[in-house]
Structure 1
Amino acid sequence: MHIKHFYDHALAQGSFAIESNGKVALVDPSRDIQPYIDFAKQHDADIIAVFETHPHADFISSHLEIQEKFGAKIYVNEKVGVSYDFKHIGHGDEVKVGKVTFRALFTPGHSPDHNSYLLLDENGNEKAVFTGDSLFVGDVGRPDLREGAGNIQVSRKELAGMMYDTVNGVFSELADDTIVYPAHGPGSLCGKNMSNDLSSTISNEKANNWAFQIQEKDKFVNAFLEGQSFIPKYFPNSVEVNRKGAKYLEDAVKNADKKEGIEIPQGSIIIDTRDKHEFKKGHLKGAINIQNKEADKFETWLGSIVGPSEKYYLVAENQQDLEFAIYRVAKIGYESNLVAGVINPKGEIVTDPLINIDDFKNNPDAYTIIDIRNESEVADGKFFDSAKNIPLPELRERAAEVDIQKPVVVHCAGGYRSSAGFSIIKSLLPNAKVYDLSDAVDDFK
């Protein structure tokens, strides 16, 4: 038996391939199927099964493409209410893959239709549990994403109660040395308190995960509901795409409209994916800068700023960067509302003045300071007492709250998000004088 953990750092998303006796099963596969094909070839094996824990909110799964290309069976709890051919698998049901066995565990709490999958080796011993978004390393999956999405919509308080039962009635009963493989790691918005470790054991979680420490159900529910992060705009849409099954990633990228030298219509949403320094040297008027370097959380911030029904254009430096940007938007299902990806667009080009740091340091009260960090970040302390907090995902809707009687300075925690925030305010409040504090925010922490 071989277990391979695939991890997408940008989305903080883990998926898994398990091979036994020439057969491969996948758990929660991401939209790019090539790594799983390579794994199967490496072991001279066939992909025969996909186990979906639930309809994911933060990424698009490739389960339908894998089924259609390889004839794999998709196993998922019928409560998900899917539109594709599937095999229902409920609590205690088992599926043999080669010499190993997958046993479904019904683990609601993050969602009301959530399965985990316990892997039994050829001797019937508990080897690992693939916990999806139910149990993380150091945390459990947030309970507030299914109040307005999915086949079954449940209040966060009811889901929090389900999670208490899942932790104490399912996970706590597993063997202590069972390896825990969750679908997410640190940085994911599906939890709030994750460890930097990407896997664990049941014994470690019993000892260190807060969810195992609170014995009273009411106290657990209250602690669970407190302090959850914002919900990106794209999350409910991804749930629905995953319930239906997505188109092939290769086709999504290949069929996206790609242009060079065109003029983008006025009033369009333009996402400029270039480095912030290049953006400030010259960009289309009204463009929003969401940088797309490999380590950037481009998908998350695109899906937090732009809604899933909004049409938008992508601007990139060259063909290679454009292809990469389209690949990344497809990972969250946003290729469907992309009008076109554009290189060298025509139109009015504007440049952005740089802030005079010395003047800002000496006269902070002469500026309107906008802190675009999340509320949970601001709760840990402000960098400027006079700053107004408008989280980046809310900035397009709340830009009118920005006082433009004074020059506006936008900051985040490290300089990546502030470029997007500054460009949003510039695009929506053209009479404002706006500056990006960028990396210089480190001088004020």
Structure 2
Amino acid sequence: MLIHQFYDTDLAHASYAILRAGQIIVIDPARNPQPYYEFALQHEADITGVIETHPHADFVSSHLEIHQTTGATIYVSHLLGATYPHQTFDDGDEITLADMKLKAINTPGHSPDSICVLVEDENGQTTTLFSGDTLFVGDVGRPDLREEAGNITAKKEDLARQMYNSTRQKLMTLPQNVVVYPAHGPGTLCGKNISPDLQSTIGRELRENYALQLMDEQTFVNELTADQPFAPQYFGYDVELNKQGAPDYAQSIANIPHLNTDAQLNEGTLVIDTRTKAAFNQGHIKNAINLQLQGKFETWLGTVVEPSEPYYLIAADHEKLELALSRSAKIGYEQQIKGVLQSPTNATETSAELDLDAFKAHPESYTIIDARNWNEINAGLLFSNALTIPLPELRKRLNEIPTDKPIVVHCAAGYRSAAARSIIVQRIVNVPVYDLSDVVVEFNNSTPSLTGMEGGKTDYLKSPLPGRI
């Protein structure tokens, strides 16, 4: 058996192809199915099955498209309530892959319909666990994303109790040499304490994972429900989209209109400008929001823009425009794009530049907005008089910002403050609004960002796992 991991650093998402005797089972595929087709072609094999460990909240899966293209059977828990053609895959169910078996384990906790997949080799030995969002390296899946989304909803405390039982009764009893392959690595918002490693073993997790240590159920519930990161607006939307199956990836992108650089955009429709903040500050369309492509673009797009809210998408050139489209599609947000265009000719609005010396000398003369996330804010303010409005809440709290003094916005490294400043100036025009940008590190070099939320690599990686199992 050959296991191949496909890892997307933008969303910290890991999907897998299991190859045996010319047959491939894909687990938790990303939106674009092409890498899985290429893998199958490279190995002269057929994709015969797709397993969804649960309806994902943080990305859109290509399971339905792969089924429609290849005829592969989709396997999901009966609890998911899938509306697409599928085969149920729950406790006691098996998939035969040549001389090997893939077995389902129901592991509610991250979601009520979560499953893990156990691999049994040709000798009947359990070797591998594909743990979805149930068990990560160093963590377990957060339990608070299904209170209002999905076929079955549940309170976070109830799901945390289910996670306690799933880990103790089903996962922690597995042989310690079983290799663990999770659906996410560090940087995802599906956990809060994930290790940089992209694979582990049951034995290592028993020793090192805080959630698998000896504790009673209530202590576990308290620990797991505390200090989870924010949940972007798009999470519930993606759960529902994955439950019904997303449209064809390439065709959905092809349907988006490409506009001329001098196109007149509909007034009142949101504009998302993905160019660098330097380019944006030199000239942008009035009321555009600056969500830079080189950062955690998908996360912030799905945080700032509401599901189904129409918007235009701007990029610096053709290559970056194609990249912005593909990254929007990862979370299903390509369907609400009204049109895309490269650097528009009417981008004449400029951004006010902060006199840093004046600010350092008299910070009390400014209204300071702290746009970091709550976990960072709670760890300590950089400016004692700052008004705390995290970026995910900003569009709904603009009326709380006083306008009697110039405004300075900061985050931890400059990405979120650029977006925040561009949002604030849409409502406040009688005083200048400044972005402290990356100069903020001079005020507190130890201030961390939330697991890479300020930026990060944007390459799509396909990583072979070491050796054969």
Query: TM-score normalized by structure 1?
Result: 0.98
Q: 5+ residue gaps in structure 2?
A: 445-469
Provide the secondary structure at the position in 2 that maps to 1:365: helix
* 1:400 lines up with 2:407 in the alignment: no
Report what 1:263 is aligned to: 264
Q: Which moved more, 1:371-380 or 1:55-64?
A: 371-380
Q: d(CA) in 1 for partners of 2:128 and 2:84?
A: 28
The match for 1:210 is 210
Show the counterpart of 1:126: 126
Partner of 1:328: 327
Aligned to 2:452: none
Q: How many Å apart are 1:346 and its aligned residue?
A: 5.3
The 2-side partners of 1:152 and 1:419 are apart by: 38
In structure 1, the partner of 2:235 is 235
1:304 equivalent in structure 2: 303
Deviations 1:274-293 (A, max 9, x none): 01100000001100000012
Q: 2: distance between equivalents of 1:99 and 1:259?
A: 54
Q: Which residue of 1 aligns with 2:34?
A: 34
Moved more, 19-28 or 338-347: 338-347
Q: Distance in 2 between matches of 1:42 and 1:309?
A: 38
Letter in 2 for 1:244: Q
1:203-257 deviations in Å (ceiling 9; x for gaps): 1110111111142001111111111111100000000110011111111111111
SS in structure 2 opposite 1:361?
helix
Q: Name segments (4+ residues, structure 1) moved above 4 Å.
A: none
Q: Which residue of 2 aligns with 1:316?
A: 315
Contact 1:264/1:345, CA 8 A, preserved across alignment: no
Distance 2:354 2:96 in 1: 62
> Structure 1 stretches of 5 or more lacking a match?
none
2:397 aligns to what SS in structure 1? Answer: helix
- Which residue is equivalent to 1:444? 443
Aligned partner of residue 18 in structure 1, secondary structure: strand
Q: Which moves more between the two structures, 95-104 or 24-33? A: 95-104
2:163 paired residue number: 163
Structure 1 residue 347: Cα displacement: 4.3
Structure 1 counterpart SS, 2:224: helix
Q: Secondary structure at the match of 2:229?
A: coil
- Once the two structures are superposed, residues 46-95 of structure 1 have per-residue CA deviations (whole angstroms, 9 ceiling, x without a partner) of 10000100000000000001001101000000110011100001112111
Q: CA deviation at 1:344?
A: 4.0
What residue in structure 1 maps to residue 451 of structure 2? none
Do residues 391 (structure 1) and 395 (structure 2) align?
no
CA distance in 1, matches of 2:443, 2:407: 16
Judge conservation of contact 1:404–1:433 (CA < 8 Å) in 2. Answer: no
User: What is the RMSD of the two structures over their aligned residues, measured on CA atoms?
Assistant: 1.1
C-alpha distance in 2 between matches for 1:433 and 1:210: 47
Instruction: Provide the rounded CA distance (Å) in 1 between the counterparts of 2:132 and 2:312.
Output: 33
**Alignment correspondent of 1:102:** 102
Give me the TM-score of the superposition, normalised by structure 2. Answer: 0.93
- Alpha-carbon offset, residue 319 of structure 1: 2.1
Deviation track 1:350-373 (CA, whole Å, cap 9, x = no partner) reads 111221111111111111111111
Q: Superposed, which structure 2 residues align to 1:316-395 within 5 Å?
A: 316-345=315-344, 347=346, 349-395=348-394
Residues 45-194 of structure 1: pairs in structure 2 closer than 5 A:
45-194=45-194
Counterpart AA for 1:238: D
One-letter amino acid of the structure 2 residue matched with residue 384 of structure 1: F
Post-superposition CA distance 1:360-416 (Å, at most 9, x none):
111111111111111011122221111121110110000111122111111111111
Please give the alpha-carbon distance, in whole angstroms, between the structure 2 residues aligned to 1:239 and 1:209.
Answer: 27
**Percent of aligned pairs with the same amino acid:** 48
Partner of 1:274: 275
Aligned-partner Cα distance in 2 for 1:336–1:119: 37
1:167 alignment partner AA: T
